[in-house]
Amino acid sequence: MKLITAVVKPHRIDEIKDALRTFGVQGLTVTEASGYGRQRGHTEVYRGAEYEIDLVPKIRIEVLVEDADAEDVVDVVVKTARTGKIGDGKVWVVPVETVVRVRTGDRGPDAL
């Protein structure tokens, strides 16, 4: 199994969620996050005083999938999250040892 984590622009959440549901992903976790990449945030001006806001709002989406689906899910996320502008985010994949469904105690792929 794999854990796919995507940190993306907040306003893309609905498209990504819908696309993943259409693809057949059963569940996901969304967290509000903040951070910066190479573009280092933005500047705000208050009465002429400039402030560098380097931590910009993002959302983090986490999805657990079977190994075979990982590449396709990454593609779905990347396609729906992309705006082409700077700050679109990152997606990464890490291996997962075990997954347990808390209610039933099911383990592995059955627990997804």
Partner 1 sequence: MNGADTAFVLISAALVMLMTPGLAFFYGGMVRVKSTLNMLMMSFISLGIVSVLWVLYGYSLAFGDDLGGGLLGNFDHIGLKGISPETLTGGKEGIPVLAFALFQLMFAALTPALMSGALADRVKFSAWALFITLWVTVVYFPVAHWVWQADGWLFKLKVIDFAGGTAVHINAGVGALAAVLVVGKRIGFKKDPMRPHSLPLVMLGAALLWFGWFGFNAGSALAANGVAANMAMNTQVATGAAMLGWLVYERIRHGAFTTLGAASGAVAGLVAITPAGAAVNAFGAILIGLVAGAVCSWAVSLKFKLGFDDSLDVVGVHLVGGVIGTLLVGVLATGGVGGATQLGRQAAGAFAVMGYSFVVSWLLAKGVDKAIGFRASEDDEVSGVDQAYHAESAYDFSAVAGVSSARAAAPAAVSDKAQNKKVDA
Which residues contact partner 1 by CB under 8 A? 44-52
**What is the closest distance, in whole angstroms, from the C-beta atom of residue 31 to partner 1 in the complex?**
13
Given the complex with partner 1, which of 38 and 47 has the nearer CB atom? 47
**What is the closest distance, in whole angstroms, from the C-beta atom of residue 12 to partner 1 in the complex?**
24
Given the complex with partner 1, which of 59 and 74 has the nearer CB atom? 59
Report how far apart, in Å, the C-alpha atoms of 55 and of each of 1, 18, 47, 87 are: 32, 27, 22, 11
Given the complex with partner 1, which of 42 and 107 has the nearer CB atom? 42
**What is the closest distance, in whole angstroms, from the C-beta atom of residue 60 to partner 1 in the complex?**
17
Report how far apart, in Å, the C-alpha atoms of 38 and of each of 4, 58, 66, 86, 90 are: 22, 14, 31, 9, 12
